[in-house]
Structures are given as C-alpha cells and as structure tokens.
Amino acid sequence: MTDTIARFIGFSARQLPDDVTAKLRELREKETGALPKVLYEAMFRNMELAAELSRPSCQDTGLVQFWLRCGTGFPLINELEGLLREAVLQATAETPLRPNVVEAFDEYNTGTNVGRGVPCVHWDIVPGWDGCEIYTYLAGGGCALPGYATVLMPGEGYAGVSRFVLERLTEYAPNACPPLLVGVGVASSAETAALLSKKALLRPVGSHSENERAARMERLLEESINALGIGPQGVGGSYTVMGVHIEHAARHPASLGVGLSVSCWSHRRGHLFFDRELNCTAASHAGFQP
C-alpha cells in the first residue's frame, strides 16, 4: 500500500486528473482571444512534456496533503498516518519531488517533504465500513496554500460571502496561475470554513453542492468571477475559473464564517480507493496502474 501511494503521488505530480484535463480542453476551445489561446497551448505542451519526460508538471511540487475517508473496519487504519508519511518520503526520492518543507522558526529545509505536522492528514471516519478513500493533493505555494478565512457579521448574509470571495480573488487570482478551481467554505468559525474550502477542492470539477441554494451560489459566483476578465495566467480572457465548489456546515446564529482556497490550472488532486484486501482503484486518473 505504501508503494502504491508513493507511485501515485509521483504520477499525479506528472499527470493531471482526467476531469481537470477535460475542463482545460473545454476552456481552451471556448476562449476567443489570441493570447489566452497561446497560453492554453503552452499548458497542454507542458502536460505532454511532463508525461513524455516523466517529470513533474510544475517546478513547485507543493506540500503533500491527504484527506482520508476511512472505515473503522479498514485493516490498516491504525498504521495509516505512518504509512502516508513513508509514502511521501519515498515519492520525494523517486519522483523526484522538490523538497519544500522548511521547519518554522528553525528555518531549515528537511530535504524530505516531511516535517513537524507535515504531511497534513485530515480524517473522516465512517463507522461500520471496511474501505478507505485517500485523496492526495499537491498544494502549491502560490495557489492552494495562501487561502483566506474570516467571520462576517451575520447581518452581512450570503451577499457578504460573495463580496468576500470576489474581493479576495480580484487581488489574489492573477498570482495563483488561473484558470482556477475555487473552493469556498461556509460555517460558524474561520478555521472550520477554511478547512471546508480546502475540502471543496477535492470534488470532481463540474460537480455541484447537494444543497439547491448552495449550488445556485456556485453558479452565480462562477459567472461573477469570470466576468472580472482576469483570464488564464491573469492576462485577460473570458474564463478565470474551472468552477466554484462550496462546502458548508451548520453555523451559530451570531456568526457567519467564510473560507477561500483555490487551485492553480495544474490542479494536482488525486483519489485512490482501497478495499479491505488492499485492492486499489484510482478514481481520478484512468491511466494509473496500481
């Protein structure tokens, strides 16, 4: 299992998920400006060379993050965090991944992409299930890591949520290498909203919230962000985002937390599923052989 995850991390550093590639192809066809089209051609040439030369698709291979949806009956549940740490060490050496982990205050690079609290592992525990879903994410320093979160006054309402997202993206989006996938979290506190905004990035591109009102807000925000005209790489264009995903939790009546996370165009999300016999399926990348 460690070897499979390590190989998958390396694979996802070189090849984007199938849904992301399909969405970029769609946006390339829909853009009409000459410069945006040149940039999309460069993106696709980059992807071709990454696969051909077996090299990461971006020089910033990010910090490796994990989100687990794990059943209490999964046989390796007690070993998973150590196993994931070992997989990152292995992927760093074999892919190779750029060493990106610097110990805070001591200010030295560990050289292994492993350090205090890294890799970050989030858990959703599922009672009575014996499978395990592992979402991998290579979070880049210019996009997924510098998110925003705050708590609005409740009177600001959902218009305040939209205003927060649009104001942040007006200054933030060009630096994050659009077209972006935008994750928005809505909850009571800043930390919960921030975590939900990151979780939103793990959904398939083009999916929508099960809540009808949240799904409508996703569509409205996507239209509004695209109307800003930021475009691919911030040079102008009709499409700035691949989509907007909202995840939400119940909130206190006196607070409205909102979090914002974005991916760059090179959205290196991965999704593996293991059954109790450790048979593996790669849901995000049809080309990966476990």
Question: Which tens digit of pLDDT belongs to each residue from 275-286?
Answer: 999 999 999 999
C-alpha–C-alpha distance, residues 101 and 110, integer Å: 6
Question: How confident is the model at residue 95, as a pLDDT?
Answer: 96
C-alpha–C-alpha distance, residues 284 and 194, integer Å: 24
Q: Tens digits of per-residue pLDDT, 44-75?
A: 999 999 999 999 999 999 999 999 999 999 99
Half-sphere exposure of residue 173: CA atoms within 13 angstroms, side-chain side: 28
Q: In which band, very low, low, confident or very high, does the pLDDT at 121 lie, cut at 50, 70 and 90? A: very high
Cα separations (Å) of 41 from 45, 83, 191, 218, 268? Answer: 6, 39, 38, 28, 19
CB atoms within 10 A of CB 278: 13
Region 231-252: mean pLDDT is: 96
C-alpha–C-alpha distance, residues 57 and 122, integer Å: 25
Question: How confident is the model at residue 234, as a pLDDT?
Answer: 94
Of residues 89 and 155, more confidently modeled: 89
283, with CB counted inside 10 A (0-12, 13-18, 19+), is middle
**Bond from prior residue into 119 cis (ω within 30 degrees of 0):** yes
**Helix (H) / strand (E) containing 213:** helix 212-227
29, with CB counted inside 10 A (0-12, 13-18, 19+), is exposed
204, with CB counted inside 10 A (0-12, 13-18, 19+), is middle
Query: SS3 helix, strand, coil % of the chain, rounded to 5?
Result: 40, 25, 35
pTM above the 0.75 mark? yes
Region 201-220: mean pLDDT is: 97
**Residue 145 confidence (pLDDT) above 90:** yes
Region 200-210: mean pLDDT is: 96
Mean of pLDDT over the chain? 97
Specify the 3-state DSSP secondary structure of 148.
strand
Question: How confident is the model at residue 154, as a pLDDT?
Answer: 81
Q: Tens digits of per-residue pLDDT, 250-270?
A: 999 999 999 999 999 999 999
**Residue 229 confidence (pLDDT) above 90:** yes
Region 148-154: mean pLDDT is: 93
Q: Cα 39 from chain centroid?
A: 22
**% of the chain exceeding 90 in pLDDT:** 97
